[in-house]
């Protein structure tokens, strides 16, 4: 029986995370959950939580054959050390906090038709983007869940409206000069990117996204597990602030005829799998799963908004028959155990 460790950020997360993957473990794997602080490097042992005969127990384990990283923004040195101990190819999703500009640069070689213009923050270029597109999003390079995202919209009058999370403005600048004088203070010292705004298709006057969950299977090959959509709270451009999660085909079938909905779905599957192939070309990453967030414009064109290296599994809690979300990483772990 192969030993697989699931790395999480803290002890409070161990039980919930492990429970999810134990239910999907049909691979005859011995699973335990551990934290960075539970590793004894000198003795090459790990204290981990496991389940035995219906009880939760703590045990001392040797280093596992495979580590599945569910700890966001993991210390690089820790993962390199683990990789040196068990083999770097045996740790998957060891990097799961992505640099948005780096991802854009990688993907743009092959998928430029599906990527909004994305450039590092610069006050002069911000004005150029605003004049060209009227609508620009400022995002932290390493942000997630919409934290720190700011939307700027240039009005016909020349005013520039700024908002966090919602379309309604929090700050109104009278002209570009006023905007330039203040935007750096608003963003602070955090590295930011600027992204061209897309005229996003809405449903019931609310923004929605399409999230493709891309995972490796028992043969080490990429597949799209599902497409789900978050329907944002009314007035919000940030789909991390949502009222509802559903399978994307439910929305697409409401908005479009069946053939058009099927065409959009196929396109998103194809782009997602191409994204996975491109990510695999970069040897810095060893991914077993990630998600791709899409927005549709008013011409039904799919745009990649961002990639997420630690897919949010809680999104699938209220959607039926989504056991594959947890099964796939176990299948991939089994595949790595054999290599």
For every residue of the chain, which 3-state class applies, written as one string?
CEEEEEECCCHHHHHHHHHHHHHCCCCCEEEEEECHHHEECCCCEEEEEEEECCEEEEEEEECCCEEEECCCCCCHHHHHHHHHHHCHHHEECCCCCCCHHHHHHHHHHHHHHHCCCEEECCHHHHHHHHHHHCEEEEEECCCCCCCCCEEEEECCCCCEEEEECECCCCEEECCHHHHHHHHHHHHCCCCEEEEECCCECEECCEEECEEEEEEECCCCCEEEEEEEEEEECCCECCCCCEEEEEEHHHHHHHHCCHHHHHHHHHHHHHHHHHHHHHHHHCCCCCCCEEEEEEEEECCCCEEEEEEECCCCHHHHCCCCCCCHHHHHHHHHHHHHHCC
Task: Kindly report, residue by residue over 201-220, the tens digit of the pLDDT.
Answer: 999 999 999 999 999 999 99
Mean pLDDT of 319-331: 93
Residue 73 has pLDDT above 80, yes or no: no
336 domain residue, yes or no: no
322 domain residue, yes or no: no
pLDDT at 126: 94
Same domain, 12 and 148: no
Same domain, 208 and 104: yes
Place 146 in a pLDDT band, splitting at 50, 70 and 90: confident
Place 229 in a pLDDT band, splitting at 50, 70 and 90: very high
Same domain, 124 and 260: no
How open is the CA angle 114-117-123, to the nearest 5 degrees?
A: 165
pLDDT at 334: 96
> What span, in angstroms and rounded, lies between the C-alpha atoms of 272 and 307?
10
* φ, ψ of residue 193 in degrees (nearest 5): -110, 165
56 domain residue, yes or no: yes
Same domain, 189 and 211: no
pLDDT at 317: 87
| Boundary of a domain, candidates 196, 227, 258 | 196
Mean pLDDT of 145-150: 86
Instruction: Look up the CATH number of the domain holding residue 177.
Output: 3.30.1490
Place 339 in a pLDDT band, splitting at 50, 70 and 90: confident
Same domain, 39 and 78: yes
| Boundary of a domain, candidates 173, 196, 219 | 196
Mean pLDDT of 272-284: 95
pTM of the shown model: 0.95
Mean pLDDT of 41-69: 96
pLDDT at 1: 85
Same domain, 84 and 48: yes
Quote the mean pLDDT of the chain: 94
Same domain, 105 and 228: yes
Looking at the structure of the chain, the number of domains it has is: 3
Instruction: Look up the CATH number of the domain holding residue 281.
Output: 3.30.470.20
Same domain, 290 and 180: no
pLDDT at 86: 95
Residue 308 has pLDDT above 90, yes or no: yes
**Burial of 92 from C-beta contacts in 10 A (0-12 / 13-18 / 19+):** buried
| Boundary of a domain, candidates 147, 175, 196 | 196
Q: Domain span at residue 170?
A: 118-196
Same domain, 182 and 205: no
pLDDT at 299: 93
Residue 123 has pLDDT above 90, yes or no: no
335 domain residue, yes or no: no
Mean pLDDT of 89-114: 95
Residue 145 has pLDDT above 80, yes or no: no
């Amino acid at each position: 029986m192969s030993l697989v460790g699931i790395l999480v950020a803290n002890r409070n997360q161990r039980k919930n995370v492990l429970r999810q993957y134990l239910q999907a473990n049909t691979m005859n794997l011995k699973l335990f959950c551990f934290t960075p602080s539970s590793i004894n490097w000198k003795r090459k042992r790990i204290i981990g939580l496991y389940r035995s005969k219906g009880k939760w127990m703590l045990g001392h384990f040797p280093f596992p054959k495979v580590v599945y990283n569910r700890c966001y923004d993991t210390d690089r040195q820790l993962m390199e050390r683990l990789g040196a101990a068990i083999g770097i190819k045996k740790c998957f999703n060891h990097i799961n906090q992505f640099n948005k500009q780096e991802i854009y640069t990688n993907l743009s070689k092959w998928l430029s038709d599906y990527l909004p213009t994305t450039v590092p923050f610069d006050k002069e270029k911000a004005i150029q983007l605003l004049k060209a597109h009227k609508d620009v999003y400022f995002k932290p390079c390493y942000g997630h869940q919409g934290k720190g995202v700011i939307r700027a919209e240039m009005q016909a009058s020349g005013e520039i409206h700024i908002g966090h999370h919602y379309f309604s403005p929090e700050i109104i600048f009278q002209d570009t000069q006023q905007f330039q004088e203040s935007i750096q203070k608003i963003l602070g010292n955090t590295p930011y990117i600027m992204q061209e705004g897309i005229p996003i298709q809405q449903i019931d006057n609310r923004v929605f996204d399409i999230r493709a969950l891309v995972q490796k299977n028992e043969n080490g090959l990429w597949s799209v597990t599902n497409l789900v959509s978050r329907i944002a709270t009314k007035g919000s451009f940030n789909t991390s602030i949502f009222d509802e999660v559903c399978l994307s085909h439910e929305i697409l079938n409401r908005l479009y005829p069946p053939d058009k909905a099927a065409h959009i779905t196929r396109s998103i599957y194809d782009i997602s799998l191409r994204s996975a192939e491109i990510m695999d070309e970069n040897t810095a990453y060893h991914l077993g799963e990630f998600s791709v967030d899409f927005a549709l414009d008013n011409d039904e064109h799919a745009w990649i908004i961002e990639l997420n290296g630690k897919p949010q599994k809680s999104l699938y809690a209220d959607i039926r028959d989504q056991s594959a979300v947890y099964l796939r990483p176990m299948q991939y772990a089994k595949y790595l155990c054999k290599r």
